[in-house]
Amino acid sequence: MKLVQPSALVLIACALASQAQPAQAATDPRRVIHDIEYRTGIVRDRADGLTVIDRDPRISIESRTLRLAEISDQMNAIDRDLRFLDAHKENLAVWEVQAIGQSAPWLVETAHDTDAAIDALKIESAHLAMAPDYQADVERIFADSTKAQHVLRDFFNLQSARQKEHRATSNLGY
């Protein structure tokens, strides 16, 4: 099976996209959790965009490859962030550990879905026909990244509500 090599334009765009990432990784574990939530939103948005453009047969495989590369870059950054948090878990509050613990399975699934979509797209480019597995993989990327983002966002909202309650209780003298 002969796989189509990505065009020079795709490679340049991928290089530019990776340069657009922050120059320094966050070193505050709490900031890293926010970065994961943000990156998960990017993954979700890119997957949603793929589901839309995949309906148009005029969209090139190179364009879809570029979007999958963006998702893959974000998932790699999330993986680095999770490894950083694991190394610094003693600096995390209980709720932060729980937020990561409950979102991690969805993040792992999103990474697997991304790898599967990339593999399916390679098969599609070799056969010049739409791979049904590819579309299902992209839909799962969207669904799983949405679930991960909601878990993280819910924990942030819960912690914010707890902080507001604590301030209000203190202000009232309780």
Whether the pLDDT of residue 128 is over 60: the answer is: no
Q: Could you read off the pLDDT of 5-64 as tens digits, one per residue?
A: 333 333 333 443 444 444 345 678 889 999 999 999 999 999 999 988 888 878 888 888
Residue-range domain boundaries for the chain = 27-167
Q: Are 100 and 85 in contact (CB under 8 A)?
A: yes
**Least confident residue range of 23-27, 120-124, 152-156:** 23-27
CATH superfamily of the 27-167 domain: IL-4 antagonist (De novo design) like domain (1.20.120.660)
**Token code pair at residue 67:** 């979007």
